[in-house]
Structure 1
Amino acid sequence: MIVVIIIAGAMFAAGALCAVYRIIRGPSILDRALAADVLLAIAICALGAEMALTRHTDTLVVMLVLALFAVVGSISIARYMAGQDAS
């Protein structure tokens, strides 16, 4: 079981590092927004995996708040980009 935890942690870390690289390096705001959504999704999945391993639901509220931030952030960036295209 320890091997599975280490492999899952390494995969979450690799995905998070790739997302952070795209946030820093991304040529456009849409690339950065997508990478931020991916980073939030990785954080939510990591919290879900931690909850499954320890068999508790203490961080469920944190997962819901992260999901709310992801949705609100995506909607606000989409509205901002729509306003930029119109003008």
Structure 2
Amino acid sequence: MTPVLFWALKGALFLLAVAMLCALFRLLAGPTAQDRVMALDCLYINGMLMMLTLGIVYSSSVYFEAAMLIALFGFVGTTALAKFLLRGEVIE
């Protein structure tokens, strides 16, 4: 791994951690439920990107599989929360 790539990946991990902290703040202090759902959506996307970046850093496919699971569960969770906010029930 070249030094430029190494430092770029470290910088990306740092910026993703900062983005996750910002999303966590919005999740805890969001004035409406829609803000909290969007913050949760942003949180899982940043977590997925962090796992992909760690997979590149450590050259391991386990991180890519974990990122796929995070994406799957995050999508299902966001869809369920959006349906709950629109209709008041998840399962009809």
TM range (shorter): 0.7 to 0.9
Query: How far apart are the structure 2 equivalents of 1:9 and 1:71?
Result: 22
Map 1:1-87 to 2 at 5 A: 1=3, 2-84=6-88
RMSD: 1.4
Q: How far 1:75 moved relative to its partner? A: 1.0
TM-score computed with the length of structure 1 as normaliser? 0.85
Q: How far 1:54 moved relative to its partner? A: 1.9
Work out the number of aligned pairs and report it.
Answer: 84
1:8 alignment partner AA: A
**Structure 2: tracts of 5 or more residues without a match:** none
Sequence identity percentage: 23
Query: How far apart are the structure 1 equivalents of 2:17 and 2:55?
Result: 17
